Amino acid sequence: MLRYIFKRLFIMVITIWIIVTLTFILMVSVPGSPFNNPDQNMNETVRENLEKQYNLDQPYAIRYILYLKSVVTLDFGPSIKKPNDTVNDLLGRGFPISFELGMVTILVAVISGIILGVMAALWHNGLIDYMAMTIAVLGISIPNFVLAVLLIQTLAVNGIFPTARWESPVHMVLPVIALATGPMAIIARLTRSTMLEVLTQDYIKMARAKGLSPWKIVIKHALKNALMPVVTIMGTLLASILTGTFVIEKIFAIPGMGKYFVESINQRDYPVIMGTTVFYSAFLIIMLFLVDLAYGILDPRIQIHKKGGDQK
């Protein structure tokens, strides 16, 4: 187990290093300097001083080392387009909000997805099954930004819910629904199919023969095993929720990290793009690592220390 953790940690560090290097290479390969904008009509000396301030006059190797240092010390430097803010300021302001939005979304998606999936499996081929699976297919098919706009049009324009901003729990309702529907649908489908499989197994028959109540069988015996695949896809779902926050925050004007990220892309604010990308990637990679660990702990049958383990 310990060996496995170290191996995974090693791969994780390499992945983050690749992301960091990739962002660096991509950013230096952009032609021109961010201050070389013909519209601004900038004085030559002013431009050189500005470039000096952002170390843009140094050779690539030195800039790369400085950049690695800034990543290790988690200090991404000042923003170019918002001179009063450092990248860390933006992250510090935006991350708690995005994190809150993401966590609420995951909770809603997991809980409602499991309930929907279990109900569909218990009443297999019944009305509830068809309804749940229709919801699930719709949820997978409708992109989150389309859903968000539809929700605004139907529920916010006439004043039932606020259209924008992030102030009270009521403000959370629409963004969370828009973000959670897709992951919920995936969880529901997965839970349904594994649940159907588990319910035909011998130990469930045994529990039934013992005279356990149907609810006890479902909750205590079947659900536990049916939920393992859900744990496996948590990593992928986290990634999709995270990228989903970019558009959702843009649409609902939520002052989270995604909004700064999209803004920085549109303004070509390279320090902010680099900082947020590295931060997002590192966050996601660490989460994936934790999900994998949780999986190994939850399912005793998984021998993760086995050599050349083929995860499929």
Closest CB to another protein among residues 195, 251: 251
86 phi/psi in degrees, rounded to 5: -95, 165
Closest CB to another protein among residues 212, 282: 282
Q: Closest distance between another protein and the C-beta of residue 53, in Å?
A: 22
Closest CB to another protein among residues 48, 162: 162
Q: Is 30 exposed, middle or buried (CB count within 10 Å of its CB: 0-12, 13-18, 19+)? A: exposed
3-class state of residue 311 by DSSP: coil
Rounded Cα–Cα distance for residues 37 and 32 (Å): 9
Among 219, 212, 231, smallest CA distance to 195 is for 219
Q: Rounded to 5 degrees, what angle do the CA atoms 131, 135, 137 make?
A: 115
DSSP of 118-177: HHHHHTTTSHHHHHHHHHHHHHHHS-HHHHHHHHIIIIITTTSS-SS--SSHHHHHHHHH
Binding residue for another protein, selected from 56, 142, 228, 231, defined by CB under 8 A? 142
27 binds another protein (CB under 8 A): yes
98 binds another protein (CB under 8 A): no
239 binds another protein (CB under 8 A): yes
19 binds another protein (CB under 8 A): yes
Binding region for another protein (CB under 8 A) out of 64-72, 210-218, 222-230, 265-273: 265-273
Task: Give the footprint of another protein on this chain (CB under 8 A).
Answer: 11-12, 14-15, 18-19, 22-23, 26-27, 29-30, 137-138, 140-143, 145-146, 149-150, 152-153, 157, 163, 239, 242-243, 246-247, 250-251, 262, 265-266, 268, 273, 277, 280-281, 284-285, 288, 308, 310, 312
